[in-house]
A and B are shown apart, each in its own frame.
Chain A
Amino acid sequence: MNTHAATFQHAHAAHCESGVISNLLRHHGVPVSESLAFGLSAGLAFAYLPFIKINGLPLIAYRTLPRGIIKGLLAPLATRFRFETFRSPQAGQTRLDTLLAEGHIVGLQTSVYWLPYMPPDMRFHFNAHNLLVYGKEGDEYLISDPVFEHPQRCASADLLRARFAKGALAPKGLLYFPTTVPQKKITPEAVRAAIRKNCRAMLPPVPIAGVRGMRWLAKHVDKLPAGEKRSADFIGQIVRMQEEIGTGGAGFRFIYAAFLQEAAQLAERPVLAQFSERLTAIGDGWRVMALKAARMIKGREPVNPAAIAALIRQQADQEEAFFKDLQAAVK
């Protein structure tokens, strides 16, 4: 066991990437909670990407693209990370083992499907999962997967397969670790800049992202035929992308609301605490939508795509107003 394995503290998190990065930075002495990492990186997003298919259904993202949270943190914290991908699985494994032997704690991007410790029903071919490796014992890696309450273990062959899974968002063995962590303080201006950046991401000029992405999704949902299994699967997909491990639409709104609460002090803008409450209410709206969708899928009420589309539009309207006001508050 390397020396870090003994000192590393695993913390449970709502989302894999923000959880990984906050656990990693905390290990290096930067006091960032998951929500602070998420907010500082301007991690909140919405994107409807019908051309990327996961199990034949479109990708709907409620946060920035994989690695976005890590990369978004580089500027506010003046941290430098090294990212490495590999042509061959063998090279990837050797490099990981070397880094562990040198005492590094290493972040990895992996598939969800090929991780044996994942519950069977959660094992889908989703390739942008993040986890930390903090040691190796015999043939097993010691894994801090932040969406699990406790650390996990994984046999080296299984981890290798998960790191080199192919398909959409293939990780190519991606590993990352911080090289310099110079700054342990977070400035008010960095927090305000992060909020401004996130407002722009939610109110963008392109139709696939932010509130316009939501309306575009609503338009597609509106067109689904009412009685078909395929429609139910599509609606289910929206909610799964919203609620399941690794993503979370309502969940991300709640994380960002937690961030705004911290930001009220950090950014020296007390008014942000009120925005936190308002965003919590918006998150609750996503949960209402999810519940309605689930009832339709379960057959407790008829599958009615138009009703779901209307709820998505309502969320879009609320978020549009919210982010415009937020933008004004951090000007």
Chain B
Amino acid sequence: MDLDAVPQEGNATLGGHRKAVYARDANGRMVIAPSKGWEAEEIVTSNAVDTLHALAEEARQRVQAGTASTLEYWMCARRMDVPLLSQTSGFWQWRVKRHLRPEVFATLTDKHLQRYADALGLSIPELRKLPS
């Protein structure tokens, strides 16, 4: 890539930061140039973020419909899935899956809730409800 081809398209997912890329200058030397971002990169990152947002939104609707616990919403909102939440909280995957059911989640003790709260970076009261 030549220096004048270094993308400066402004990738919104970089949040205003610039990343360093290597490119060839006029003398053929490879140098570091700051890039505001590339459209291709923005598209794939946004696609991944949108997929995660959609999962969280579906979970929110299931919580509102009473078919999922708030744990499921927070798991998705924190960009986790069952295997990762299981690793982070130390509960077996089958237990995590059970706790995604509202009636089971309602019976959890504070000790168990605290493990999920720690894993998700929340307090117990926050974990028990959807964000307003």
Separation of A55 and B15 alpha carbons in the complex (Å): 21
Q: Is A324 an interface residue (CB 8 A)?
A: no
Interface string of B1-28 (1 = CB under 8 A from A): 1000000000011111111111110001
Within 8 A of B (CB), among A115-132: 119-125
B22 near A257: Cβ-Cβ < 8 Å: yes
CB contact list, B23-47 vs A, under 8 A: 23-24, 28-32, 34, 38-41, 43-47
Tell me if A35 counts as interface (CB < 8 A to partner B): yes
CB of B49 closer than 8 Å to a CB of A: yes
Query: Shortest CB–CB separation between residue B75 and chain A, in angstroms?
Result: 12
Q: Which residues of B contact A161 (CB under 8 A)?
A: 121
Is B15 within 8 A of A125, CB to CB? no
> Is B61 among interface residues, defined by CB-CB distance under 8 A?
no
Would you call A148 and B17 a contact (CB within 8 A)? yes
Contact B32 A121 (CB under 8 A): no
The SS class assigned to the A binding surface is helix
Other-chain residue from B45, B47, B81 in contact with A233 (beta carbon distance below 8 A) = B47
Instruction: Decide yes or no: A122 and B40 within 8 Å by CB, A53-B83, A236-B48, A261-B29 being known contacts.
Output: no
Q: Which residues of B contact A237 (CB under 8 A)?
A: 44, 48
Please tell me which one of the listed residues A123, A146, A233 contacts residue B79 in the complex, with CB atoms under 8 A apart.
A123
Question: Can you name the residue of chain A whose Cβ is closest to the Cβ of B40?
Answer: A294
Interface centre among A120, A121, A240, A295 (most CB of B within 10 A): A121
Bound-state CA distance A291–B1 (Å) is 14
For B67, the chain A residues whose CB sits under 8 A away are: none
A257 engages B30 (CB within 8 Å): yes
Contact with A along B79-95 (1 / 0, CB 8 A): 11101100110000000
Interchain residue pairs with CB less than 8 A apart (15) = A12-B32, A35-B30, A53-B83, A114-B121, A120-B15, A121-B14, A125-B80, A243-B38, A243-B40, A244-B45, A245-B19, A251-B21, A254-B30, A258-B30, A297-B43
